[in-house]
Chains A and B, each alone.
Chain A
């Protein structure tokens, strides 16, 4: 039984202001869920359900769910939505809101660390550079301090987010 007595009905607006403007247009047809490639793979993941929880003001339940991090941002839902809700954008908004409160999966801080240190998420080796040269692109060196400078603030902001200590809360 879901009790709505203490639901936070301003949550839909919060999500809209964070970039998920479409969320309040949803009438629950389920087209997003029907086309979602993640839904059949991940137990419990259902974009339509998440939107419903947002509209029912279940702020805590939504933001603490590891499920919001499952979206592969393939935009299938965006393509089929008759109301232009774009769950992908709603998902970004949810992730941003969750990070602001320090609710993010452990993998995320590792990724930010990699990005700010090396400027990319994976190592550039000889193999990658050979491919780049074949494609007519200049080779890249591992030295990418420029990115590090650009992204220095990112890691800091993630660490300073409230609740960062319990950053595991988001799962992975």
Chain B
């Protein structure tokens, strides 16, 4: 049952729906088609986008024109980004291949091959399955595959068995946090990476490197990102942490990115168009709007009707009835919905919430650690007395407002200690914490305040050293 079906009186959120399509080159056909299917009208700005305010379904974009500036009412924005295979990654000698370029007849026997997967985007189970299958094929044909990926868990039917088989048959599957460095060494390529568990560098020489092609960020994206208030990664595109794959969503509700999210998992162009139009329709389709009673009730409760909570919940435990309704049985208690709600109307009920409330009511001083509940208690007990530590159900509970509120209460430094992103019990909690902290840091920087006073530390539950290091305490 869809949330938006049912009797009642459909009410559009905004009658004239324009979808602004941004990108380089000609108007993206996929984006335009999706906008039309969703009942909207695709437009391109005739001039430079200089301002952007509002909420999903009711955005106002300010475009600089020859005559001055025009205000453009919009329903949504689509960033039409294109993928570009290869590029920055290839080591000078050219022994590297993108996943799509692998020759099925390739002779693997007696050679070592490194496969790098998911560094540009969270690889879905489908793409990881392909990578594992390639690894097994290499093994069967007498080669040695080394598979490096930034995520730890492999979920999906049959994948775990493949993962084990690959390791038991003499291959390597390992999680590392960042792309390895690559240098040519004669005919071979030497990979050097920081091992997150051993906390030391490791190196291996291989004959071939195969990787997911990094997507290309249009030159305009950096400034656009600033105007659209998107979290951006170091490569200048919407941060891969926040692009749900393959759903074309960015970190800002109502702003979508099409392709360019990565090349990790091939999505058929039609499927991508359908997905996007589905998201757009959910946002503002006049035929599927919310019932008026629901709308009034939600308005009374000051709900922004942005559906951010629905999109945020990693397990879809939120349904809609006159406003968000949390299904307790399915809820993971991670609190990401509460952290993301722009109107702060989601009031979580779990016990940790009291601790947070108390914390917000008292003046503070010194260092504050907001820690995921999975982090070993002894580590937090080991902090010096001047540092305060609060355990939350999940680090994803920490929102931007809370960070600023806590800073205004007098804390000198806030460290958000979360699990490793690939190892988060609430799936996206750790990544959300990272995104929140990055956004807060950007704002602090803009205000001329040292952004280092807020930091995000992903660690394994027992890695006290890393947390103490972030607090400048050093050692255990």
**Contact yes or no, B462 A39, CB < 8 A:** yes
A8 to chain B, nearest CB (A): 9
Distance in Å: Cβ of B49 to nearest Cβ of chain A: 43
Chain B residues near A13: list those with CB within 8 A: 168-170
Q: Which residues of B contact A55 (CB under 8 A)?
A: 167, 172, 174
Residue of A nearest to B144 (CB): A9
Neighbouring A residues of B205 by C-beta, 8 Å: 5
Given contacts A25-B160, A29-B423, A30-B461, contact A52 B170 (CB under 8 A): no
A34 to chain B, nearest CB (A): 4
Cβ contacts under 8 Å, A27 to chain B: 152-154, 175, 422-423
Specify which chain B residues have a CB less than 8 angstroms from the CB of A39 in the assembled complex: 462
Within 8 A of B (CB), among A59-101: none
Are B204 and A3 in touch, CB under 8 angstroms? yes
Flag whether A164 is at the interface (Cβ < 8 A): no
Main SS class of interface, B: mixed
Least CB separation from B205: chain A residue: A5
**Which among B175, B201, B378, B423 is the interface contact of A2 at CB below 8 angstroms?**
B201
**Interface residues on chain A, number (Cβ under 8 Å):** 30
Collect the chain B residues with CB atoms within 8 Å of residue A9's CB.
144, 170-172
Min CB–CB distance A124 → chain B (angstroms): 39
Task: Check A49 for interface membership: any CB of B closer than 8 A.
Answer: yes
Contact of B197 with A52 in the complex, beta carbons under 8 Å: yes
**Chain B residue at minimum C-beta to C-beta distance from A17:** B168
Q: Verify B460–A28 contact, CB threshold 8 A.
A: yes
Q: Contacting A30 at CB < 8 Å: which of B163, B174, B192, B460? A: B460
Contact of A116 with B by CB under 8 A: no
In the bound complex, do residue B463 and residue A30 qualify as a contact, i.e. CB atoms below 8 Å apart? yes
Give chain A residues whose Cβ lies under 8 Å from the Cβ of B202: 1-4, 56
Given A27-B153, A29-B460, decide whether A52 and B378 contact each other with a Cβ distance below 8 A. Answer: no
Decide if B361 is an interface residue (CB 8 Å cutoff). no
**B198, CB-defined interface residue at 8 Å:** yes
In angstroms, Cα B167 to Cα A13, docked, is 8
User: What chain B residues lie within 8 Å of A48 (beta carbons)?
Assistant: 197, 460, 462
Distance, CA A117 to CA B203, complexed state (A): 50
* A34 / chain B contacts, CB cutoff of 8 Å: 376, 460-462
Closest to A13 in B: B168
User: Is B164 part of the contact surface with A, judged by Cβ < 8 Å?
Assistant: yes
B195 touches A (CB below 8 Å): yes
A138-172 vs B, Cβ < 8 Å mask (1 yes, 0 no): 00000000000000000000000000000000000
State A70–B195 Cα separation when bound (angstroms): 24
For residue B378, which residues in chain A have a CB less than 8 angstroms away from its CB?
40
**Which residues of the partner chain A approach B200 to less than 8 Å between Cβ atoms?**
1-2
B396-436: contact bitstring with A at CB < 8 Å (1 yes, 0 no)? 00000000000000000000000110110000000000000
B202 nearest CB across to chain A (Å): 4
Interface pair A33/B462, CB less than 8 Å apart: yes
CB of B22, distance to nearest CB on chain A (Å)? 38
In the assembled complex, how far is the CB of residue A156 from the closest CB belonging to chain B, in whole angstroms? 33
A:1-55 near B, CB below 8 Å: 1-5, 7, 9-10, 12-13, 16, 24-25, 27-31, 33-34, 36, 39-40, 48-49, 52-53, 55
Q: Across the interface, name the chain B residue whose C-beta is closest to A83.
A: B160
- The residues of B that contact A3 with a CB separation of less than 8 Å are 202-204
Interface set, chain B 187-209, CB cutoff 8 A to A: 192, 195-198, 200-205
Residues from chain B with a CB closer than 8 A to the CB of A56 are 172, 174, 195, 198, 202
Complex: A24 Cα to B132 Cα, angstroms: 14
Q: For residue A33, which residues in chain B have a CB less than 8 angstroms away from its CB?
A: 460-462
Nearest CB of A to B392, in Å:
17
Complex: how many Å from CA A10 to CA B144? 11
| Chain A proximity of B179: nearest CB distance (Å) | 17
Chain A residues with Cβ below 8 Å from B174 are 55-56
Cα A10 to Cα B167 with chains together (Å): 8
Residue in B163, B192, B461 whose CB lies within 8 Å of A31: B461
For the complex formed, measure the closest distance between the CB of A16 and the CB atoms of chain B, giving whole angstroms: 6
Report B-chain residues with C-beta under 8 Å of the C-beta of A52.
195, 197-198
Q: Is the CB of B204 within 8 A of A5?
A: yes
Segment 359-382 of B: residues with Cβ below 8 Å from A: 376, 378
* Cβ A4 vs Cβ B201 within 8 A: no
Contacts of A5 in B (CB 8 A): 203-205
Q: How far is the CB of A31 from chain B (nearest CB, A)?
A: 6
Closest Cβ of chain A: how far from B360's Cβ, in Å?
29
How far is it, in angstroms, between the C-alpha of A55 and the C-alpha of B172 when the chains are bound? 7
Q: Would you give the shortest CB distance from A44 to chain B, in whole angstroms?
A: 11
Give the most central of A5, A28, A33: most B CB within 10 Å.
A28
- Roughly how many angstroms separate A109 CA and B172 CA in the complex, as a whole number? 36
Chain B residue with minimal CB distance to A80?
A: B461
For B154, list chain A residues within 8 Å (CB). 27
Structural contact, B144 and A30, CB atoms closer than 8 A: no
Cβ proximity bits B147-186 to A, threshold 8 Å, 1 near / 0 not: 0000011100000100110011111101100000000000
The minimal Cβ–Cβ distance linking A41 to chain B, given in whole angstroms, is: 12
Q: Which residues of A contact B168 (CB under 8 A)?
A: 12-13, 16, 24
Cα-based distance from A56 to B146 in the complex (angstroms): 10
Pairwise interchain contact A49-B198, C-beta atoms closer than 8 A: yes
In the complex formed, the residue of A with least CB distance to B419 is: A29
Beta-carbon nearest neighbor of B152 in chain A: A27
Known: A1-B201, A39-B462, A49-B197. A29 touches B172 (CB 8 A): no
11 pairs of residues in contact across A and B, judged by CB atoms under 8 Å: A2-B200, A4-B172, A24-B163, A27-B175, A31-B461, A33-B461, A49-B197, A55-B167, A55-B174, A56-B174, A56-B198
By Cβ-Cβ distance, the 5 closest A-B pairs, closest first, are: A30-B460, A24-B167, A34-B462, A4-B204, A34-B461
Q: A33-B462, A52-B197, A55-B167 are in contact. List 11 more A-B contacts (CB 8 A).
A: A24-B164, A24-B168, A27-B422, A28-B460, A29-B420, A29-B423, A30-B462, A34-B460, A55-B174, A56-B198, A56-B202
